[in-house]
């Protein structure tokens, strides 16, 4: 009896495991095996101008998209073998863990908590948390002026966690995406939106004269490429690709053509890839 029960449980567990892996875009295959077949599924943002944006006609643009394409190409995958999947901030680890994406290139900060679940290549860019307010706002000048104010950020993001932890007295409103925060800022439901400077600059440039980024960046956000925990071979290859992108001028060009244009942002110096 006991054996039969254990067997049944075992079969159930296997069936469940099969269902979970079978539904993913990347499936249960390792990323490098997918790349070998000429295919990769990459998680990006769909609503961040200059970084990861899906246009109405289904094309993708932005710095993260260019980084994703470059890395994919180095892994032997051409742009027509790429599938971009939306990776909202709170879902990035799960998408990687479940094999629904092979890589995540989505303004994704490397940190210890996330490293418990996924690995990172990079960093390929260093951003910093900042604030976006309406152009005529004068009372919010930096994170220390947020007390009693309603501020919007995104679930599962480092900026939201930082506000909760370090700026008590701030009313934090969280949504799934930053574009929803922008709607709340436009309507006056929130006084500010907080996330990385580079993301906010992209939104500000979409509506000239309407918003401004205020204060100096008050965190350090190292953008990494997220991948399955323990896949060292993949991480090494992605690190090599990022290093090559810095070295051959493609990184500068990608930045100028994306964030540079979308937010008239100067191109910073490339960071150093950290092969931990």
**Interface residues toward ligand GLU, by CB under 6 A:** 89, 106-109, 154, 157-159, 195-196, 221
Q: Which is nearer to ligand GLU, 145 or 157 (CB)?
A: 157
Nearer to ligand GLU, 77 or 93 (CB): 93
State the Cα–Cα distance between residues 266 and 257, nearest whole angstrom: 11
Provide, rounded to whole angstroms, the least separation between the CB of residue 243 and ligand GLU: 21
Instruction: Give the residue among 113, 121, 126 at the shortest CA–CA distance from 158.
Output: 113
CB of 27 to ligand GLU, least distance (A): 25
> Nearest approach, Cβ of 3 to ligand GLU (angstroms)?
47
Closer to ligand GLU by Cβ: residue 35 or 121: 121
Cβ proximity to ligand GLU: between 5 and 165 the closer is 165
CB of 15 to ligand GLU, least distance (A): 35
Strand 211-214: give its sheet, edge to edge: 171-175, 150-154, 192-196, 129-134, 211-214
Q: Would you say 41 or 194 has its CB closer to ligand GLU?
A: 194
Q: Which is nearer to ligand GLU, 71 or 163 (CB)?
A: 163
Shortest Cβ 104–ligand GLU spacing (Å): 10
User: Least separation, in Å, of the C-beta of 12 and ligand GLU?
Assistant: 36
Nearest to 99 by CA among 45, 37, 18: 18
Which of residues 35 and 160 has its CB atom nearest to ligand GLU in the complex?
A: 160
CB of 90 to ligand GLU, least distance (A): 9
Comparing CB distances to ligand GLU, the nearer of 34 and 107 is 107
* Minimum CB–partner distance for residue 196 and ligand GLU (Å): 5
Position of minimal CB gap to ligand GLU: 157
| Buried b or exposed e, range 225-244, using 16+ CB within 10 angstroms | bbbbbebeebbebbbbbbbe
């Amino acid at each position: 009896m006991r054996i039969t029960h254990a067997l049944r449980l075992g079969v159930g567990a296997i069936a469940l495991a099969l269902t979970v892996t079978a539904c993913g875009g990347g499936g249960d295959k390792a990323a490098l095996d997918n790349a070998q077949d000429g295919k990769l599924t990459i998680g990006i943002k769909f609503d961040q101008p200059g970084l990861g944006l899906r246009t109405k006609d289904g094309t993708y643009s932005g710095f993260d998209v260019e980084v994703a394409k470059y890395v994919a190409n180095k892994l032997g995958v051409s742009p027509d073998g790429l599938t971009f999947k939306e990776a909202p901030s709170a879902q990035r680890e799960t998408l990687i863990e479940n094999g629904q994406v092979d890589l995540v290139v989505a303004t994704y900060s490397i940190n210890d908590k996330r490293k418990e679940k996924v690995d990172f290549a990079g960093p390929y860019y260093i951003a910093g948390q900042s604030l976006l307010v309406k152009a005529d706002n004068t009372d919010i000048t930096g994170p220390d002026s947020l007390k009693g104010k309603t501020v919007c950020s995104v679930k599962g993001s480092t900026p939201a966690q930082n506000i909760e932890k370090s700026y008590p007295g701030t009313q934090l409103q969280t949504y799934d995406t930053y574009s929803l925060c922008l709607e709340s800022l436009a309507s006056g439901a929130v006084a500010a939106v907080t996330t990385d400077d580079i993301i906010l600059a992209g939104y500000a440039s979409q509506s000239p004269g309407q918003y401004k980024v205020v204060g100096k960046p008050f965190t350090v956000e190292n953008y990494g490429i997220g991948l399955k925990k323990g896949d060292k071979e993949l991480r090494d290859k992605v690190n090599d690709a990022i290093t090559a992108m810095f070295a051959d001028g493609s990184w500068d060009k990608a930045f100028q053509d994306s964030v540079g244009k979308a937010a008239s942002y100067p191109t910073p110096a490339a960071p150093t890839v950290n092969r931990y």
